[in-house]
Amino acid sequence: MATEADGQSAGGLVFHPMDQFIVKPLFGDGAVGMFTFTNVALWLLLAVAAVAALMVLGTAKRATVPTRSQSVAELAYGFVYKMVEDVTGKDGLKYFPYIFTIFLFILFSNFLALIPTSFSPTSHIAITAVLGFGVFIAITALGFIKNGVSFLGLFWVTSAPLAIRPVLAIIEIISYFVRPVSHSIRLAGNLTAGHAVLKVFAGFGQIAAVSPFAVLGVVAIFGLEVLVAAIQAYVFTILTCVYLKDALHPHH
């Protein structure tokens, strides 16, 4: 917070709520190239480490009566497994490892981002757009591979009167192509907004008179962000399941 201290000494209240999202190299002062080891890389790899710690080290005992960590790992497994099964049906279970990967990645990135001074990868549109468009492209390809041209039946609502089907088809197509955009912006937007608001409340701590309220605000927003972290991971995953269901069973 050196910049905020500078701002205060200059006599004004200075907020830099977006500075926490700056990508910077961890070693050296060069430009951020494609392979530079940046704070993004660090926190992404920490997320990988956390996933591995829970899912591999946590289940290392393979106990029939699970330990605490194994219990949590099984809970996560069962939660997503049941979600995939309930939403997409039995034939969607083939794609469970991919969906579980996405879920755990988002969940752990979101939670690691709650650590003060950490970096939140899932607040970056570059990250969530890769996830969102990756899901979109993979599922669209899968829909055509599985169903051939009849996948386009997804846009031809046979339960509607014939006269309004073309109109519905246009609406369906637009909504289909908006999916990846909303899918990725929803996640990045939620994370960005929450973390920025945390920083703004923290910034009010510069004024002694309101600093108690600033602390209370930070605590309240932090609690909200804990919820958001879990809920956004859940929402992203269940929407992926819904889209996958459309690809596997395009006929309403």
Partner 1 sequence: MATETTGTASACVGPDGSAIGMPQLCVDWMPNQIFWLLIALVAIYFVLSRIALPRIATVLAERQGTITNDLAAAEDLKQKAVEAEEAYNKALADARAQAQEIIARNKAEMQVELEKAIAKADAEIAAKAAESEKAISDIRASAVESVEAVAKDTAGAIVAALGGQADDATVAAAVDAQIKG
* Contact between 73 and partner 1 per CB under 8 A: yes
Q: How many helices (H) and strands (E) does the chain have?
A: 7, 0
What is the smallest separation between the CB atom of 125 and partner 1, expressed in angstroms? 5
What is the smallest separation between the CB atom of 190 and partner 1, expressed in angstroms? 13
Q: How many residues does the chain have?
A: 252
* Contact between 77 and partner 1 per CB under 8 A: yes
174 to 203, contacts with partner 1 by CB under 8 A? Answer: 188, 192
User: Exactly one of 5, 13, 26, 45 binds partner 1 (CB under 8 A); which one?
Assistant: 45
Q: Find the helix or strand (DSSP H, E) in which 159 lies.
A: none
Taking the C-alpha atoms of residue 230 and residue 117, their distance in angstroms, rounded to an integer, is: 20
DSSP assigned state of 158: T
C-beta pairs of 44-50 under 8 Å, 24+ apart in sequence = 44/109, 44/121, 46/112, 47/105, 47/108, 47/109, 47/112, 47/121, 50/108, 50/111, 50/112
* Contact between 236 and partner 1 per CB under 8 A: no
* Contact between 247 and partner 1 per CB under 8 A: no
Residue 103: which of 224, 223, 226, 241 has the closest Cα? 241
245 Cβ contact partners less than 8 Å away, ≥ 6 residues apart: 87, 88, 89, 92
* Contact between 132 and partner 1 per CB under 8 A: no
Nearer to partner 1, 151 or 237 (CB): 237
Considering only the stretches 12-20, 143-151, 175-183, 222-230, report the one whose residues sit in contact with partner 1 under the rule CB under 8 A: 12-20
* Contact between 18 and partner 1 per CB under 8 A: yes
Positions touching partner 1 (CB under 8 A) are: 2-3, 6, 16, 18-19, 21-25, 29-36, 38, 40-41, 44-45, 47-48, 51-52, 55-56, 59, 62-64, 66, 70, 73-74, 77-78, 96-98, 100-102, 104-105, 121, 123-127, 130-131, 188, 192
